[in-house]
Amino acid sequence: MRVTATSDLVGHEARNRDAGPVIEATGLRHTFRSRRGNVDAVAGIDLRVEAREIFGFLGPNGAGKTTTLRMLSTLLPPTGGEARVAGHDLVREPRRVRESIGYVGQQNGADRQVTGRTELEFQGTLYGMGRSAARRRAAELLATLDLEEVADRNTGTYSGGQRRRLDIGLGLIHGPRLLFLDEPTSGLDPQGRARLWDEVRRLREGGMTIFLTTHYLDEADALCDRLAIIDHGRIVAEGTPDELKRQIAGDAVTLGVGGDVQVALDLLAGQPFVREASVDGGAIRLYVDRGETALPALLRVLTEAGIELRTTSLARPSLDDVFLRQTGRSLREQAAPAPDWARWVGR
């Protein structure tokens, strides 16, 4: 079941391509000129996104996420730097780039007075597909995105989730090798978000690379293989969610032991993977590099020394801790979506 659905969504174009970086950018920059001076929306960023990964761009509103996405998808010419997207030069071969990528913006790209099916078929022909090929592909996507029931209704009647899925269908119609998603789950209810995450993971399983922006910490954490944290147009941290969190201070392990706490503490503090050890209210608190591998090792050390282990807990730093350390601000406080006008002013 799953495999069929995957191949339907991805289309034949996306598979069997060489591995290697799908996005390579150096010093990519966009400066907006205005009467009050120039604003560096994106102040020179380096990026490398490998094939078949879900790469996330995490940052507050106005950090430069959308501007970067629009540059990488040829919608906005960079004012500096260079980039290769899907193996083609962004500035010199925009047409080749467009053929290889799908892009789903924050707004709904479908006209409210047109049916979902018509929109998908039209989009297919814009990518150079013949009419019958476009028709087949549209029907396929409508089925996999669970839109068959509303396919012949005007998109103005769709629910938020249906519209978002149609948007994604519009970006997938030509079976791109790279898909850009700008704040894909913003405005969706929890079920809609979970469903979209599943959809994105299935696409990756099918061989697609996904580049998405988000200001949701949990989304970046749960969905992305790797992410870059961006603030004021600069990348302030980059890595897998786990790597980023590990930069902070390591994982916190709390152990409740029977017997002499001090003996256990001395024993554990001597282990090479323990960075910091202390006693906190009768329990032992350790900071370790990798909690998930440290725990079994700690357990073994204690067992060998004949010390009884009563309770354990493992706490990991969140991405918000990472953001806080890099920028001095919490992302959580700024997670509210910007008003509509901010998009227009911000650009």
Which spans of this chain sit near another protein (rule: CB under 8 A)? 73-77, 95, 98-99, 101-103, 105-114, 118, 122-123, 125-128, 167, 170, 344, 347
Give residues with Cβ within 8 angstroms of 49, minimum separation 6.
21, 22, 23, 24, 55, 209, 211, 226
Nearest to another protein of 333, 341 (CB atom)? 341
- Shortest distance, position 63 Cβ to another protein, whole Å: 18
Query: What are the strands of the beta sheet with 54-58, ordered from one edge?
Result: 101-104, 178-182, 209-214, 54-58, 226-231, 234-239
Nearer to another protein, 112 or 329 (CB): 112
125/247 with CB nearer another protein:
125
Provide the angle, in degrees to the nearest 10, between the axes of the packed helices 319-327 and 241-248. Answer: 60
Q: d(Cα 320, Cα 4) in Å, to the nearest integer?
A: 37
* Alpha carbon distance 271, 274 (integer Å): 6
Please say which residue, 328 or 341, places its beta carbon nearer to another protein. Answer: 341
**From CA 21, how far away is CA 86, in angstroms rounded?**
8
Nearest to 302 by CA among 270, 338, 347: 270
Shortest reach from residue 98's CB to another protein, in Å: 4
Least gap, CB of 137 to another protein (angstroms): 14
CB of 205 to another protein, least distance (A): 24
Residue type, 40: D
H or E element that contains 125: helix 116-126
Compare residues 77 and 270 and give the one whose CB is closer to another protein: 77
Q: Which is nearer to another protein, 333 or 340 (CB)?
A: 340
* Cβ neighbourhood burial of 152 (10 Å; 0-12, 13-18, 19+): exposed
Provide the minimum distance between the beta carbon of 1 and another protein in the complex, in angstroms, as a whole number: 30
The three-class DSSP label of residue 105 is coil
Nearest residue (CB) to another protein, 306 versus 341:
341
**Separation of alpha carbons 94 and 89, rounded Å:** 7
